[in-house]
Amino acid sequence: MDPEVMGYEVMDPQVSGSSALAAEVMDRETTITAPTIGKVPAEALPTLVATKPPDAPLSGSVLVLIQFDVCEEIRLDELRHILGARTADASFKHLAPGYVRYQRPPVEEVLEPLVLESGERLQGDIKYFDYGVVSVVFELPFSGDWDKLVQLSSRWVWDTNFESLATRIVKQKLERAAPALVKPYSTEWLQEDYFIFHLREIEGSPSATDLLASQGGFISQVVRGETQPLSDGERQEILQSRISYYPHDLAVIGWNAAFIYDNPVGAETAIQLLQYANSQLLEFRHYDELLTKQLEGVYDFLERGGRGLWSRWRTARAASKLHTVLLDVSELTERADNAIKFLSDMFSARLYKLAALKVGVPDYKDLVQQKLQTAEELYRFMVDEFNQSRAFVLELMVVIILIIELVYFFRGKPI
């Protein structure tokens, strides 16, 4: 998809002369669409190609990232065989050795174009990560001015709901990919969404420093999805989360959206790392909820009498179940945490660290670690309780045996 374009025209001049033929072309090329998107049936719209207005000061694309936590693990080799899809390798700002890569590269599949009620035509792809996250990315070409970009960011970040469309696509894809899913979750998946506003060209080709000085207010509005100018303090807080590698590139990272000014190759680095950071956030959110439920179950068990003398024998099973969960969570969180390495690309490492910080990965990771520590302490407590009960019963049995022996001894009868 050419990121320089925004207006639309019919792909073939011959197609424009016949609405029936245009609809037929759309039917052939757009297979993953909602039966009706808004008021206009998607199948009735012609295939469109974007064209760039000659006087547009900005050109690039807007990306909508929606991710779902669908299962405990995805067998990527099996999935690749089922879908015939390609492996998505990590890209970096500059050439890096082969060991700077995904530990297990996700499987990527290109989606068919989607057409919204407004006439906006979305390209898309879907990625499957081995730790059970499925990531959908919709991309819309953009050309226009700063006001238009601000209005678009506000409409998409706050008003437009892509979740239902992405959910339908993922459910459709997972029906075919089901053999590759390990312990799939219910359809009530956890999900995260994120928006990326990528400008490839800006009139005058300003440096990052000049761009921040002249358009910092607009950039902060885009990142926040606000149509009204922000206060100086809020603008400064947003623009502090920026990073550049060359003089003419810039990334400003927010908790729900990011602004990127870079060429397509350079922007791909930030896009992939933002995608990875959000997938990590989704995983840690899942395990935070899982551990919360497990800890609540243990507390309820103890309050219901799990600390009684004879009830302590049941703590062995409860402790064993808790320990199994601890091992599973520790293994899976480590897999998500170490899915990509930056052994010799320090800029990518710093960019990822900034992205992870802004979307909240460290906060949820700390919560998971704290709950893992609490669960470990509870496990040890329950094991100690069980061992004390077992020792008491054994001592009681020894005493009973000694009493029986004494009774027979004083009665003068051998045992």
* 171, part of any domain: yes
99-123: pLDDT as tens digits: 346 678 889 999 988 877 777 788 8
Residues 286, 292, 295, 300, Cα dihedral to 10°: -130
148 shares its domain with 251 = yes
Q: Place 257 in a pLDDT band, splitting at 50, 70 and 90.
A: very high
299-325: pLDDT as tens digits: 777 777 555 555 555 666 667 677 677
157 shares its domain with 231 = yes
End-to-end CA distance of the chain: 93
212 shares its domain with 285 = no
Distances (CA, A) of 249 to 75, 136, 209: 37, 26, 9
210 shares its domain with 315 = no
Task: Indicate the residue among 242, 277, 312 that finishes a domain.
Answer: 277
The least confident of 219-233, 261-275, 382-396 is: 382-396
Residue 191: strand pairing partners: 68
270 shares its domain with 347 = no
Number of structural domains in the chain: 2
The per-residue pLDDT for 7 is 34
Q: Please indicate whether residue 402 or residue 316 has the higher confidence score (pLDDT).
A: 402
* 271, part of any domain: yes
pTM of the shown model:
0.74
266 shares its domain with 285 = no
The per-residue pLDDT for 101 is 60
* 24, part of any domain: no
Residue-range definition of the domain harbouring residue 199: 54-277
92 shares its domain with 188 = yes
* 5, part of any domain: no
Question: Over 70: is that where the pLDDT of 242 sits?
Answer: yes
Q: Which long-range contacts (CB under 8 A, 24 or more apart) does 395-402 make?
A: none
The per-residue pLDDT for 204 is 92
The least confident of 162-171, 183-192, 234-243, 338-347 is: 338-347
Rounded to whole angstroms, how far apart are CA atoms 250 and 266? Answer: 10
Q: Place 156 in a pLDDT band, splitting at 50, 70 and 90.
A: confident
Both tokens of 373, joined, read 């520590």
Degrees, nearest 5: CA angle 12-54-268: 80
- What percent of the chain lies above the pLDDT cut of 90? 37
336 shares its domain with 286 = yes
The per-residue pLDDT for 134 is 95
What distance lies between CA 45 and its chain's CA centroid?
Answer: 32
The average pLDDT across 185-197 equals 89
101 shares its domain with 237 = yes
305 shares its domain with 393 = yes
* 19, part of any domain: no
Residue 118 · residue 152 · CB < 8 Å: no
198-228: pLDDT as tens digits: 999 999 999 999 999 999 999 999 999 999 9
Task: Indicate the residue among 237, 258, 277 that finishes a domain.
Answer: 277
* 48, part of any domain: no
311 shares its domain with 257 = no
Give 335: exposed, middle or buried? Use CB within 10 Å, 0-12, 13-18, 19+. Answer: middle
182 shares its domain with 283 = no
The average pLDDT across 38-65 equals 58
The average pLDDT across 391-406 equals 76
* 124, part of any domain: yes
Mean pLDDT score of the chain: 77
Task: Indicate the residue among 277, 296, 330 that finishes a domain.
Answer: 277
Question: Over 60: is that where the pLDDT of 125 sits?
Answer: yes
* 186, part of any domain: yes
